[in-house]
A and B are shown apart, each in its own frame.
Chain A
Amino acid sequence: MAGTESRLFDITFLDMLACQESPVHRLDARAKVLTTFIFVVVVASFDKYAVVSLLPLFLFPLVLVVQARLPYGFLGKRLLLVAPFALMVGAFNPLLDQQTQLLLGTFAVTGGWLSFLSILLRFTLTVGMALVLIAVTSFPGICNAIDKLGAPRVFALQLLFLYRYIFVLGEEARRMVRARSLRSFHGRGNGLKVYGALLTQLLWRTIERAQRVHKAMLSRGFVGTVPLLQMKRFTWQDGAFVGLWCGFFIAVRILSGSAELQVWVAELLK
């Protein structure tokens, strides 16, 4: 349960970072969400062996981290925590794809190693950017933004309620687990059967709470739609942020495809 707790702490900490003041924090949430979305699409669109051509894209998260004065130690640690997933995804590539793709002097680099490296870079870029986005926008800010950008309202609401009640539910689960461990001795009382009972309890409590929340909503005039407050106006600075960064991503993507650049990079590596 300690793991779950620290995850919840992470969200809280990211939200605290989101309350800070900086030029990046002041930008409209829609601008940041939209730019991040395009960033992720561009990162995903690269060739599977792309390594060097991905590097310029690091400029985007790095500039945001510096401008927003985010603690890179914290972000780095979070990235490392989820890194095993990316390692698992790419771990077999070097074994499966042994065709030489690149010669670094006399050293032959196989396609497998290149694609493995590429996966790790993409992972760092996308997951890192997701963390940065929450830290400069806040989770509710992102939900509001996707609602205003035209995503179905129910989708934004699901996320908002998830965010609101995950702490309450986490606290309940923590209390239950603590109560169980206080009465479990010599490994007895820790079995799967007990876990099943705990989960059932948690589900029941959740359903009951959902009913009470629904009552609370009804008592304040809820008739099926949840009103969300308007966001501040989209300014020219927001527009410039989206335009310039997206222009940069697309330029990097187009240039990476050009044969001349590849030859130039290959020369450089030799």
Chain B
Amino acid sequence: MSHHLVEVNELRYTYPDGTQALAGVDFRITHGEAVAIVGANGAGKSTLLQHLNGYLWPSSGQVRVGDYALTKQNLQDARRSVGMVFQDPDDQLFMPTVREDVAFGPLNLGLSEEDALQRVTTALRQVGALHLQDRPPHRLSSGEKRAVAIATVLAMSPDVLVLDEPSTGLDPKSRRQLIDWLAGYRHTKIIASHDLDLVLDLCQRTIVLSAGKVLADGPTREVFQDQKLLEQSRLERPLRLQGCPVCSLASS
């Protein structure tokens, strides 16, 4: 059985106040893929992510993680296999020290303290944050918080890594470090972002959401070259795919 598969069929979700956030979303993400989910504010990205490990239950349709449809019975299993990195690391880092925070997941999985601490060390080393382990989360910089938030998820050895706006609030250097790190991470990745240059660097495939529907799903470069599609979904071509104003002036 492969846990590395995420599939969404005819997914619909309406909030209690009547707002329809998802109006029939379909896609299938397979092992090792890096997929971006992009779209305007309110397009349904966050709502979609919240379905992937069962915070929200679809009004209709289905989410499949691995070979099974997500149900209340296999929820714990799905939450282990789909690791979610939140937009605001302050929401994710709730324990008094970095070490305890990273150990939270492994201990909940029933690991012994020794094994949990082993995982803490491995995960923190992976994101280059081992030196922060005794620090309280509120004394970390945004970049450090982000790295630790990713480590908290890695410590649970997820099969699929889901990141919600991972580059928000990072300075250019921290952003670049994050991109380099994510590029080296070989498991399945799903990244929701407005940072289309980051998407261009990391994801071979892009799903464009608009008004709760999939407007496009294809190779990232192709999607970002489609000017009409980008305008329709309130997006802009990534800076790197735009002509450089300085160079083009010089040549003209």
Interface positions of A (Cβ within 8 A of B): 12, 15, 19, 139-140, 143, 160-161, 163-165, 167-168, 209, 212-213, 215-223, 226-230
Contacts and interface: CB of A to CB of B under 8 A. Distances in A.
B86 interface: yes
Interface of B: 50, 53, 55, 76, 79-80, 83-84, 86, 88, 90-92, 94-97, 99-100, 103-105, 107-109, 113, 117, 134, 136-139, 152-153, 156
B79 A221 contact: yes
Contacts of A165: 94
16 contacts: A12-B139, A19-B134, A143-B96, A164-B136, A164-B138, A212-B86, A215-B55, A215-B91, A216-B84, A216-B91, A216-B94, A217-B104, A221-B105, A221-B109, A229-B100, A229-B103
Is chain B's interface secondary structure helix, strand, loop, or mixed overall?
A: helix
- Nearest 8 CB-CB pairings of A with B: A221-B108, A140-B96, A227-B107, A220-B105, A212-B91, A167-B138, A216-B92, A219-B84
Most buried by B among A209, A219, A221: A219
A209 B87 CA distance: 12
Given A219-B83, A223-B76, 14 more contacts: A15-B136, A161-B94, A164-B94, A212-B88, A213-B91, A215-B50, A216-B86, A219-B53, A220-B79, A220-B105, A221-B80, A222-B104, A226-B104, A228-B100
B113 A229 contact: yes
A139 B80 CA distance: 31
Nearest to A163: B96
Given A167-B138, A227-B107, A220 B152 contact: yes
A216 B91 CA distance: 7
B22 to A, nearest CB: 18
A161 B94 CA distance: 7
A230 to B, nearest CB: 6
Contacts of A228: 100
B55 A168 contact: no
B94 A221 contact: no
Contacts of A217: 94, 104
A221 B86 contact: no
Most buried by B among A15, A139, A160, A213: A213
Contacts of A215: 50, 55, 86, 91
A164 B117 CA distance: 21
Contacts of A161: 94
Nearest to B111: A227
Given A213-B91, A217-B94, A229 B76 contact: no
